[in-house]
Amino acid sequence: MTYPETEQLQQLIAEANHILIIQADNPDADSLGSALALETVLGNLDKKTSLYCSVDMPTYLRYMPGWDRVAKDIPSNFDLSIIVDASTMTLLEKFQDPSIKGIIASRPCVVLDHHAITDNPIPFTTIIINDGSRASAGELLYILGKELAWPFDTAAYEYVANTILGDTQGLTNELAKPETYRIMAELLEKGVDRPKLEEVRREFGKMPEVIFRYKAKLIERTELHSDGRIAYVSVPQQEINDYSPLYNPAPLIQNDMLQTSGVQVAIVVKVYENGRITAAIRANSGYMVAGALAEHFGGGGHKYASGFKLTNGKPLGEVKQECIRYATELLNNQVAELQSETV
């Protein structure tokens, strides 16, 4: 077996009748695709499943059939929980509630993730399979499924493909290893129609006119720092209320930020009236600092996509200043390391 915990995972699933599949508070294509792939496979194993996330699925992810089965309430009668694409309590805010934490901790709990370095790990897990060499949690799920002869079908393969395409930015960043390409080839051979997946994603990604015009405002407001290497924009509560139900501001603007000449890191911060601050961080290929920047603030993620959440009431100005300072330090350190390697 590739992982020493694989047989124990197989046993836990075999013994469970009702399995709860959990995503963190910052769902993306990997977390949703992994959850839906796992739901499909477990359903094919005649298991009852429930899908949970504490927040509504962002509009831009709703190209994946089944997103609407993700609930914001935790059932009380499940036998096993599996957390996908997350290994940190920081991204599971509701688990800070002792009553909810008690429910999850009272049953076996499995983590399937690919963020190898994690601050504030989940303390009550039964087993953790966290492989930082995998491009996505969905890729990890596919490897486990092959070893355990899970009954994947075309829908499950498509979900796995979406996880890989999401986290590798369409197989364009360094998370896509040779093994990732081999897996994508296998998925295509098993019937996944990549052009169709892309067509569906693009169709659901279309924006209404009000969002198109709001995007222009975000672009106008975007600041460039550190000699143009860091793009930064903040979104206040009123704009969250007005526009987030139609389109999440972070994915709306971040690709354009990263497409700006010289930009290496794009940071979108949401500011809530209750003092909560969340940040979505994306980095261009070759600038592997997103995960470390998020971890500095108690968050998590991988080298090119990450996020953090602050609930300590720290003023936005201080958060912004620290974010830009540390991002600059990380970028400078990476340049220094590259230069030392060439000497």
> Residue 52 belongs to what domain range?
6-202
The answer as to whether 138 is a domain residue is: yes
Count up the domains in the chain and report the number.
Answer: 2
The pLDDT, as a whole number, for residue 206 is: 85
CA atoms within 13 A on the CB side of 61: 28
The pLDDT, as a whole number, for residue 125 is: 94
Least confident of 41-45, 146-150, 205-209, 235-239: 205-209
Report residue 339's pLDDT band, with 50, 70 and 90 as the boundaries. low
- Positive or negative torsion for Cα 24, 29, 30, 33: positive
Whether the Cβ atoms of residue 123 and residue 89 lie closer than 8 Å to each other? yes
Q: What is the DSSP letter of 108?
A: -
pLDDT per residue as tens digits for the range 135-159: 999 999 999 999 999 999 999 999 9
The pLDDT, as a whole number, for residue 66 is: 97
> Which residues fall within 8 angstroms of residue 214, CB to CB, at 6 or more apart?
239, 243, 249, 252
What proportions of the chain, in percent to the nearest 5, are helix, strand and coil?
45, 15, 35
188 lies in the same domain as 63: yes
Mean pLDDT computed over 21-43: 95
Does 238 or 342 have the greater pLDDT score?
238
The answer as to whether 118 is a domain residue is: yes
CATH of the domain at 214: 3.10.310.30
Judge whether residue 342 has pLDDT over 60.
no
238 lies in the same domain as 131: no
Whether the Cβ atoms of residue 233 and residue 200 lie closer than 8 Å to each other? no
Residues in the chain, total: 343
The pLDDT, as a whole number, for residue 334 is: 86
The answer as to whether 48 is a domain residue is: yes
The pLDDT, as a whole number, for residue 233 is: 98
pLDDT per residue as tens digits for the range 107-133: 999 999 998 766 778 899 999 999 999
Domain end marker among 176, 202, 228:
202
Mean pLDDT computed over 153-175: 92
Whether the Cβ atoms of residue 79 and residue 107 lie closer than 8 Å to each other? yes
The pLDDT, as a whole number, for residue 108 is: 97
Domain end marker among 187, 202, 217:
202
CA angle 30–31–34, rounded 5-degree value: 80
Q: What is the DSSP letter of 85?
A: S
How far the first Cα of the chain sits from its last, in Å, is: 41
How many Å apart are CA 142 and CA 148, to the nearest integer? 10
The pLDDT, as a whole number, for residue 343 is: 47
Whether the Cβ atoms of residue 303 and residue 174 lie closer than 8 Å to each other? yes
175 lies in the same domain as 214: no
How many Å apart are CA 5 and CA 128, to the nearest integer? 8
182 lies in the same domain as 215: no
225 lies in the same domain as 131: no
The pLDDT, as a whole number, for residue 338 is: 64
Report residue 256's pLDDT band, with 50, 70 and 90 as the boundaries. very high
Q: Based on the number of CB atoms within 10 Å of its own CB, is 289 exposed (0-12), middle (13-18) or buried (19 or more)?
A: buried
30 lies in the same domain as 94: yes
Beta bridge partners of residue 270, listed in sequence order? 235, 278
Mean pLDDT computed over 324-341: 84
What's the chain's Rg over C-alpha atoms? Answer: 20
The answer as to whether 83 is a domain residue is: yes
Report residue 230's pLDDT band, with 50, 70 and 90 as the boundaries. very high
pLDDT per residue as tens digits for the range 178-205: 999 999 999 999 999 999 999 998 888 8
The pLDDT, as a whole number, for residue 44 is: 97
How many Å apart are CA 284 and CA 101, to the nearest integer? 36
Quickly tell me which residue has 């940071």 as its tokens. Answer: 267
CA angle 102–17–77, rounded 5-degree value: 35
Mean pLDDT of the chain: 92
pLDDT per residue as tens digits for the range 198-220: 999 888 888 899 999 999 999 99
226 lies in the same domain as 276: yes
How many Å apart are CA 90 and CA 87, to the nearest integer? 9
Angle between helices 6-15 and 137-147 (to 10 degrees): 80
The answer as to whether 26 is a domain residue is: yes
122 lies in the same domain as 264: no
Domain end marker among 174, 202, 230:
202
Judge whether residue 262 has pLDDT over 90.
yes
Whether the Cβ atoms of residue 304 and residue 176 lie closer than 8 Å to each other? no
21 lies in the same domain as 60: yes
Report residue 341's pLDDT band, with 50, 70 and 90 as the boundaries. low
314 lies in the same domain as 173: no
Mean pLDDT computed over 57-62: 87
Share of the chain above pLDDT 90, in %: 73
130 lies in the same domain as 243: no
187 lies in the same domain as 48: yes
The answer as to whether 1 is a domain residue is: no
CATH of the domain at 70: 3.90.1640.10
pLDDT per residue as tens digits for the range 301-321: 788 888 898 988 899 999 999
